[in-house]
Amino acid sequence: MSPDGIKLLKTPVLDKSKWMQLPRDVIIGHDVLAQLPKVCEDLQVSGSALVFSGKGTMDVAGSQVLSLVREVMDAELFIVDTITPEIISEAEEAGSGVDVFIGVGGGKVIDTAKIVSYNCCRPFISIPTAASHDGIASSRASVPVKGGSVSLEANPPIALIADTGIIAAAPHRLLAAGCADVISNYTAILDWELSHRLRGEPVSEYAIALARMTAEIISKNADLIKPHSEESAWTVVKALLSSGVAMSIAGSSRPASGGEHKFSHALDQIAPGKGLHGEQCGIGSIITMYLHGGDWRGIRTSLKKIGAPTTPKEMGIDDYSAAQALVLAHTIRPERFTILDMGVTEEVARELIAMLYEE
């Protein structure tokens, strides 16, 4: 009984908690780069910044961002050529004592800034120059390591500033790769559900619903995704954002990364520097959708409409290497159970790659 005589009910304790981190300010649109000083003011970010950019993306937006940041705080530059544990340590040293990290570029630049931000316990602002991957707003980062790849916990951006003018001007190949990365959510989800049924891995229905809806929006609008159209850049950036949020809800990259991603990571080892991340995942998704017994032709049609490759040859990768990547995929993150972990022989792998060329 409470002091007021009200009978208190004993409620069962749910011994469960979850901490999800999501972006706070999201600015998407034409010429929004100029909003950066305002965003820093809104988020009360001041002091000093370390701006990460790439060799090519420096000219696209990195220099402009550096000038804008220097209007409101001290800023230094760190050029990311490739992402490795060594480069990350180097960047952490350069970022010691810095108040905010800003990533301006493609996926490698953004992932590096994200990891350094997490390790240095300082916020990070994401400024993608291309809609090529769904890590622009996620709380995960992928790092290639010897013999594979690791998915690390990282800081999601405190702010995402996506300038659709810059993104639409980027080579169409990058936008098409971003679409393919999102379309591959279809099979990532099937793999997660398979692991749930076979291994008892917990799933998040909300993360699955969001990731699937995102893939559906891109597939349904495949006809409307056009090169150098700011409208298309809008559509794709929003999809990448919601796919990233799905990963943050899940607390892992599971809703957006399954066997098709393991295939892509294996290709990065076997045929480095040929295909883009999203392109490889898209092709992997056609194959794993076939293995799941789903509409693999539908995935292939969407990718073709968008202008993403559907065969290894289109990425400059020979079929033998692609088949090897399929066989090796299960060795990448063996703890992540997918349909490719059920056993793919060399013979089957060759047949699966040949299937991609079928009319």
Ligand X SMILES: O=C(CO)COP(=O)(O)O
Is 81 among the annotated ligand-binding positions?
A: no
Output the six-digit token pair for 72.
């409101």
265 is in an annotated binding site: yes
**Contact flag: residue 214 with ligand X (CB under 6 A):** no
Residue with smaller CB distance to ligand NDP, 197 or 262: 262
- Please indicate if the annotation marks 292 as binding a ligand: no
Report the C-alpha gap between 63 and 68 in whole angstroms. 9
Q: Which of 145, 143, 66, 59 is nearest to 103 (CA)?
A: 66
Instruction: Please tell me the distance from the alpha carbon of residue 170 to that of residue 182, in angstroms, as a whole number.
Output: 18
Measure CA of the first residue to CA of the last residue in the chain; give whole Å.
Answer: 74
User: Which of 32, 102, 108, 191 touches ligand NDP (CB under 6 A)?
Assistant: 108
Maximum distance among all Cα pairs of the chain, rounded to whole angstroms:
78
Q: Of these partners, ligand X, Zn ion, ligand NDP, none, which one is at the site of residue 187 (CB under 5 to 8 Å by kind)?
A: none
Which residues contact Zn ion (rule: CB under 5 A)?
181
- d(Cα 116, Cα 155) in Å, to the nearest integer? 9
Q: Does 279 bind ligand X (CB under 6 A)?
A: no
Tell me the β-bridge partners of 27. Answer: 161
Residue 156 partner contact from Zn ion, ligand NDP, ligand X, none using kind-dependent CB cut-offs of 5 to 8 Å: none
Indicate whether 56 belongs to the interface with ligand NDP (CB under 6 A).
yes
Which DSSP letter does residue 295 get? -
**122 touches ligand X by CB under 6 A:** no
Give yes or no for residue 105 binding ligand NDP (CB under 6 A): yes
Residue type for 294, please?
Answer: G
Q: Residue 107, annotated ligand binder?
A: yes
Q: Which residues 6+ apart lie within 8 Å of 9 measured at CB? A: none
Distance CA 14, CA 153 (A): 25
Binders in 263-302 for ligand NDP, by CB under 6 A? 276-278
Q: Which residues bind ligand NDP (CB under 6 A)?
A: 54-57, 60, 83, 105-109, 111, 129-130, 132-135, 138, 140-142, 166, 170-171, 174, 177, 181, 247, 253, 276-278
Binding residues for Zn(2+): 181, 261, 277
Q: Which residues bind ligand X (CB under 6 A)?
A: 134, 140, 142, 149, 151, 181, 253, 256-257, 261
